[in-house]
Amino acid sequence: MKTGLLNPTPLTPDAMGHAPIVDLMDMATGHAESAALLVKARAFAEPLLQNERFETGEEALAHADGVSLILHGIGAPPSLRGVAYLVYASQYLTQPEEIIGRAFGPDEAALVAYTRKLVQVQRNTRDTLGDDADGPLAAEQIERIRKMLLAFSRDLRVVLLRLASRLQTLRYYAESKQPCPRALARESMQVFAPLANRLGIWQIKWELEDLSFRFLQPDVYRSIAKGLDEKRVEREQHIERIRQQLLHALADAGLPAQVQGRPKHLYSIWKKMKGKQLTLDKVFDVRALRVIVEDVPACYAALSRAHELWSPIPEAFKDYIAKPKPNGYQSLHTVVRDEQGRSIEIQIRTQAMHDHAESGVAAHWAYKEAGTKGYAGVQAAGDFESRVAEARKTVLRQLLAWERDLAAADDAASGEAHRGLFDDRIYVFTPGGEIIDLPAGASPVDFAYTLHTNLGHRCRGARVDGAMVPLNTPLQSGQTVEIVSVKEGGPSLDWLNAELGYIRSPRARSKVRAWFNALAQQATIARGRDAVEKLLQREGKTAIKLEDLASNLGFRNAEALFDVVGKDEYSLRNIEQYLRPAAPEQDPDELIAQKLARSDTSRMGGEGKGVLVVGMDSLLTQLARCCKPAPPDAIDGYVTRGKGVAVHRLDCVNFRQMSAKEPERVIPVAWGRQAMAENAHYAVDVLIEAHDRSGLLRDVCDVLAQGKSHVLSMHSQAVRDRVTITLTVQTSDSARLQSLLAKVLQISGVLRARRK
């Protein structure tokens, strides 16, 4: 009993025993260039594939020929059949993409690359399947199916290549009578056949199911085949009799039609028997006819004539013309009983409906390849690209629906919900039909940043399925999104507010933050540049090149210098010291001779504020303005030129740099008794960073006043929602100041509070 395997147009073998590459149909449709590519591709692949075998044992060249013929049978263009040869030849090339790109073009090279990647995904998938023919798919398997979906979205022709290749592999196992690996047969049944069904490629779908059924459940398969074969002659005679009867009835009614006996596929029969608990003789559509007429009115007229001839079964009637299936399938289905009460299924459709049912997605790509010249009677007008994009989106929507159906069926079979693997992602389209993978709940802003960073920055509006929507609108799978942008501009701070819902993608969020961080750095660099340039003007050194100045100071470039100056992390005194000519070196003895001969008490009242130079009497001291030390800070002294000893905090950046350069000038110092007295006061700089708000400065000053620390000066700078406040406060003890800063840190909105 034959199971209705795909029967491509018979072709006469050539002298070598291979099927001819191009038949007259290819040339008659005006595909000379496409047909030439097919001939060239096979000639290119033949020496590489000759005498090679796949791991299945099948000859590589025979497999490629079989795939090409299957593609021919579903109406795929010759150029796609040519790519089938290149896919297999690429396995024997060291740099396949480069070689194929030079010989055939970048489009063919990219298609080969996508197909090769998908093959690897499928091999990994089969490793997880096991031998359970009817068991649910594993979570890992479903995740890999998603990867298959995304691979298909890059170039939908990959679908046809992979379906044809899998069918050819199953045919090889059937013809060679070798046992087919159960994982491969199960994948064909659970993944490839549903995919072909979703895309409406019925020829491949039925044969994949029947062959997989044959390998997975051979005993059941043989039992049904035997039951059908026992009455095959009687059934065929009956089908021919009713076929002629219906054909004459339609002709008498003036309805030109083709009436064909339609083979019933074994897997379909078994599913109906299992699902409805029927015996084989109770399956209605073992006997079936297909009627092809000129137009839709003729379909309903033919239906009426069939119901006049035989008694219809009302509950078995289905009108897929008025309400097509999700994959676009259209036809009238009815079941009638003849004079002996035997059931007959009849399908009635137009030729266009029949072509779509047999070829499905292949028709879209035959149309696409035609270009502006048209193909198979379809002329591509000025809106050709938009029509191709719509065809592409139609097919991709079927892939998305297939993914969801697969997950739902698997949930029901396993009792486990895999929704986490699918509901966390959505797939939307660009106007050109490209599919974009986004997190669930993503907005048009996420979509824009996924396409290009600059497009995201310049995004100002969005159209979803042609209608303008707010930028924080959650997108849904299958929608077409178009971004409205400006020529220049940047993102809004509102986009970073999670409660407003403008961004769900971490990638988009990081790009928006990077934009504002870059703006802040630019402002800091501008501030630093301004300070350095003003210093150069005061010193009369405007002729110095900024890059040279930065390099001599140890920075990689001028912007790095401006950045640290703008952040107050590098003192301008360092630049002053570099710019001013060094004074002649003085003997240390001369420096000591300049000390003031005053008593310890008078020295305590000087500018040094009670600082004692260890081992020295009456030496002039002064507190450094860069770090403003105060008791009980750890301090050290540095002998200056003509100004005595400068007292620095040990953690002072300037002091560390100077002491490293001239260690001989460092001299030990310590706080004297008067420095620790209650009436001693020191000016100390404090840096406070906080979120900007009204009343912030008042709250800070209140805390300092309660601690008896007077504010001598203040400077504040706001950048967006942040404010930096620099205060000079008077204190007698830095340790007491630290406790005050701890209280300042508790004020609402304060982020940091520290001494400079």
657-677 pLDDT, tens digit each: 888 888 888 888 888 777 666
**What CATH number matches the domain at 682-755, 3.50.30.50, 3.40.50.200, 3.30.70.260, 3.40.190.10?**
3.30.70.260
Average pLDDT, the chain: 77
Taking the C-alpha atoms of residue 753 and residue 689, their distance in angstroms, rounded to an integer, is 7
Q: What is the mean pLDDT of residues 192-204?
A: 78
Nearest to residue 341, comparing CAs of 311, 364, 302?
A: 311
pLDDT at 112: 87
Q: What is the mean pLDDT of residues 232-260?
A: 85
Nearest to residue 640, comparing CAs of 623, 653, 628, 652?
A: 623
Is pLDDT at 301 greater than 60 in this prediction?
yes
Is pLDDT at 422 greater than 60 in this prediction?
no
pLDDT at 601: 37
pTM value? 0.51
Taking the C-alpha atoms of residue 686 and residue 712, their distance in angstroms, rounded to an integer, is 11
Give Dmax over CA atoms of the chain in angstroms. 139
Is pLDDT at 744 greater than 80 in this prediction?
yes
Tens-place pLDDT, residues 437-481: 788 889 999 999 988 899 999 999 999 988 999 999 999 877 889
Q: Choose the most confident range, by mean pLDDT, from 125-129, 431-435, 683-687, 717-721.
A: 683-687
Residue 26 structure tokens: 């290819």
Range in 24-38, 147-161, 532-546, 614-628 the model is least confident about: 24-38
What distances in angstroms separate CA 447 from CA 149, 388, 392, 504, 710, one per listed residue? Answer: 19, 22, 19, 10, 54
Strand, helix or coil at 428? strand
pLDDT at 474: 93
Q: What is the mean pLDDT of residues 714-727?
A: 84
CA 346 to chain centre: 46
Is pLDDT at 221 greater than 70 in this prediction?
yes
Is pLDDT at 63 greater than 90 in this prediction?
yes
pLDDT at 175: 92
Residue found by looking up tokens 């800091």 in the block: 524
pLDDT at 7: 40
More confident residue, 683 or 3: 683
Taking the C-alpha atoms of residue 76 and residue 164, their distance in angstroms, rounded to an integer, is 11
Strand, helix or coil at 442? coil
Taking the C-alpha atoms of residue 395 and residue 384, their distance in angstroms, rounded to an integer, is 17
pLDDT at 307: 92
Q: What is the mean pLDDT of residues 287-306?
A: 91
pLDDT at 146: 56
More confident residue, 109 or 617: 109
Class of domain 1-216: mainly alpha
Is pLDDT at 401 greater than 70 in this prediction?
no
Range in 90-94, 347-351, 597-601 the model is least confident about: 597-601
Respond yes or no on whether the N-terminal peptide bond of residue 632 is cis (omega within 30° of 0): yes
Angle, alpha carbons 282-285-288 (nearest 5°): 145
Contacts of 354 (CB under 8 A, 6+ apart): 290, 292
Is pLDDT at 117 greater than 80 in this prediction?
no
Which sign does the torsion angle of CA 225, 230, 231, 233 carry? positive
Tens-place pLDDT, residues 491-523: 988 898 888 889 988 889 999 998 988 888 888
pLDDT at 402: 59
Sheet holding 722-731, edge to edge: 710-719, 722-731, 682-691, 750-755
Share of the chain above pLDDT 90, in %: 18
Range in 73-82, 228-237, 502-511 the model is least confident about: 228-237
More confident residue, 589 or 327: 327
More confident residue, 33 or 650: 650
Residues of the chain with CATH 3.30.70.260: 682-755
> Are 445 and 433 within 8 A, CB to CB?
no
Taking the C-alpha atoms of residue 362 and residue 353, their distance in angstroms, rounded to an integer, is 14
pLDDT band at 11 (very low <50, low <70, confident <90, very high): very low
Q: 424-504: what fold?
A: Ubiquitin-like (UB roll) (3.10.20)
Nearest to residue 58, comparing CAs of 197, 220, 169?
A: 169
Please write down the HEC assignment for all residues of 468-525.
EECCCCCCCCCCEEEEEECCCCCCCHHHHCHHHCCCCCHHHHHHHHHHHHHHHHHHHH
What distances in angstroms separate CA 104 from CA 81, 83, 316, one per listed residue? Answer: 14, 9, 52
Please write down the HEC assignment for all residues of 210-261.
HHHHHHHCHHHHHHHHHHHHHCHHHHHHHHHHHHHHHHHHHHHCCCCCEEEE
Is pLDDT at 691 greater than 90 in this prediction?
no
pLDDT at 275: 62
Residues of the chain with CATH 3.10.20.30: 424-504
